[in-house]
Structure 1
Amino acid sequence: MDLAMDAGALEAFLAVEFPQVAADFAVDAVGADGVTVRLRVADRHLRPGGTVSGPNIFALADLAIYCAILARIGPKALTVTTSAAIDFMRKPAAGVDLVAEARLLKLGRVLAVGDVLIRSAGAEAVVARASLTYSIPPER
């Protein structure tokens, strides 16, 4: 299976289309099975108690699936989330990045479905699990 975008192309796309958050994330790997995306955890991502906030964990999951889809279909900015569910399973480790492993379960012409496992960098235990569905804009 051919990939339409590699890690560098995805990061460049994010820098143009989502400059407000692109620097928070790094695309660590892109492959036929999916992508690995990192949240570069900083103080602004923390909630009281010093742990990464739920909205930031969700943003990582959402961005990871978005990148997995674009890696396969190319830079279609209007590919959008239509459904999402996330389970927060444990507190992330303090002071380390979060790493999301996203894989596509189905990539159709109109819909894509994927899942994401998020871990603290260097840890085996899953912090969160998410399932997302995206709508892919029609070809024109």
Structure 2
Amino acid sequence: MDIAALEAFLGEAFPQVSADFGIERLDAGGLCVRLKVAERHLRPGGTISGPSMFALADVAVYLAILSRLGPVALAVTTNCSIDFMRKPASGVDLLCECRLLKLGRLLAVGDVLIHSEGLDQPVARASLTYAIPPS
């Protein structure tokens, strides 16, 4: 699936959150997904919440899998490990660089780095495993 097809699928399958995300890049090495940060993504103190960063990582790996397999709506997260390394910059979007480490018949494993836009050091790193439904 290309960027337009992925964004259309996300809008159809997950209309409740699809407007929060945009795909910045998709190539053979992976993809980059943007979290369009809004007030609902903030926690007390004004920083971006952990659940918002988790959602970004989760959506990025999901889209990376779909980009290779097509619209497999029932692929689901089976494991996630996330390290929050530093406070995100306030008032800027987050960018998630994702690459698939394994894409098998039943499991996929992805690795992500999340950055505040314009900054080099990552704010979070995550590893996710997805179960792929049998075809």
Cα RMSD of the aligned pairs, angstroms, is 0.5
Measured after TM superposition, the shift of residue 7 of structure 1 is 1.0
Measured after TM superposition, the shift of residue 11 of structure 1 is 0.5
Match of 2:80 in 1: 84
Match of 2:14 in 1: 18
What is the percentage of aligned positions where both structures have the same residue? 68
Match of 2:61 in 1: 65
1:128 pairs with one of 118, 124, 129: 124
Match of 1:51 in 2: 47
What TM-score results when the alignment is normalised by the length of structure 2?
0.99
Q: 1:50-69 CA distances to partner (integer Å, 9 max, x unpaired)?
A: 00000000000000000110
Unaligned runs of 5+ in 1: none
Name the count of aligned residue pairs: 135
Measured after TM superposition, the shift of residue 122 of structure 1 is 1.0
Measured after TM superposition, the shift of residue 134 of structure 1 is 0.3
Match of 2:25 in 1: 29
Do structure 1's residue 108 and structure 2's residue 104 form an aligned pair? yes
Unaligned runs of 5+ in 2: none
The structure 1 segments of at least 4 consecutive aligned residues displaced by more than 2 Å after TM superposition are none
Q: Secondary structure of 1:67's match?
A: helix
